[in-house]
């Protein structure tokens, strides 16, 4: 039986070196910076990927480790947060200066659901030392920062020979200032399409929503090839768009990608 999930507040919008820049100014006192940490996810072919997030720790040169409770401590199904959907994990005020590390503190209620069956998810050192990531960023006085941690669920799960599952997180981290995005529609959805964006350095994946909408976020600047690939059983051919420019602050809108008959394409 699947575990009961928290009802999470979400926001539509929108390996492990974290980077980010100041997004705006606040009226808070000098010497402090406000930080919002939000969670989003790249899709995977699982029914659920549940992480028991209890808190977050931030390490700064001025204050050492600062522990912050999660806004809603408990089990988060990462697969609920895709196509621009995210949720606030933690909000805190930190001393201005160098932020060097961030880590998620996890409980022991982590699991994965595959083909309707729930399995325990092993998180090496997760309950003891958390999921730790290096950061190299100067927090400016009175700065306000929003950071997204984007779990690549498909590449973060390792299945062992005995059928157990282990989390080895692959995470893309971005901010409002480092958030390249591609959006569009794809159809027909009866073909179960998956959308890929890739270049020589990066690859991102999106599972479209029921209406065909997809949004790829957190892409570094560059030119990408975008492929809408149907399930092989559909008999339809992929739709490919080359040289899609991704620039920070601009959403590349591809319009509608149409999967057509594969007849005559061989």
pLDDT digits (tens, 9 = 90+) for 73-122: 999 999 898 888 899 999 999 998 887 888 899 998 999 999 899 999 98
Query: pLDDT digits over 216-227, tens only?
Result: 998 999 999 999
pLDDT over 50 (residue 158): yes
Report DSSP letters for 20-74, one per residue.
----EE-SSPTTEEEEEEEEEEE--SSSEEEEEEEEEEEEETTTEEEEEEEEEEE
Mean model confidence pLDDT for the chain: 82
pTM of the entire predicted model: 0.74
Contacts of 147 (CB under 8 A, 6+ apart): 18, 20, 35, 36, 37, 38, 173, 174, 175
Instruction: Check residue 29 and give left, alpha or beta (phi > 0: left; psi -120 to 50: alpha).
Output: beta
Second CATH level (architecture) for the domain 180-261: Sandwich (2.60)
Among 231, 251, 105, 266, smallest CA distance to 183 is for 251
pLDDT over 70 (residue 16): no
Q: Domain segments of the chain: what residues?
A: 11-175, 180-261
pLDDT of residue 13: 35
CA 109 to chain centre: 20
């Amino acid at each position: 039986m699947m575990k009961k999930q928290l009802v999470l507040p979400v926001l539509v919008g929108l390996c492990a070196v974290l980077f980010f820049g100041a997004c705006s100014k606040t009226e808070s006192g000098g010497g402090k910076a406000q930080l919002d940490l939000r969670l989003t996810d790249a899709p995977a072919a699982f029914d659920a990927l549940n992480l028991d997030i209890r808190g977050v720790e931030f390490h700064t040169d001025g204050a050492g480790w600062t522990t912050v409770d999660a806004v809603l401590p408990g089990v988060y199904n990462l697969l609920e947060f895709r196509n621009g959907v995210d949720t606030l994990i933690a909000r805190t005020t930190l001393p201005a200066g160098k932020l060097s590390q961030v880590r998620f503190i996890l409980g022991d209620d982590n699991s994965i659901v595959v083909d309707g069956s729930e399995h325990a998810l092993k998180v090496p050192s997760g309950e003891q030392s958390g999921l730790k990531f290096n950061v190299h960023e100067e927090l400016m006085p009175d700065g306000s920062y929003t950071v997204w941690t984007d779990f690549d669920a498909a590449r973060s799960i390792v299945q062992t020979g005995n059928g157990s599952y282990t989390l080895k997180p692959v995470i893309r981290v971005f901010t409002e200032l480092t958030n390249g995005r591609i959006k569009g529609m794809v159809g027909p959805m009866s073909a179960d399409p998956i959308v890929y964006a890739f270049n020589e350095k990066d690859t991102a994946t999106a599972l479209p929503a029921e209406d065909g909408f997809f949004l790829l976020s957190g892409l570094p600047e560059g030119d990408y090839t975008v492929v809408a690939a149907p399930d092989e059983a559909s008999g339809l051919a992929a739709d490919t768009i080359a040289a899609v420019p991704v620039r920070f602050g601009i959403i590349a809108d591809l319009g509608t990608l149409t999967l057509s008959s594969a007849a005559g394409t061989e």
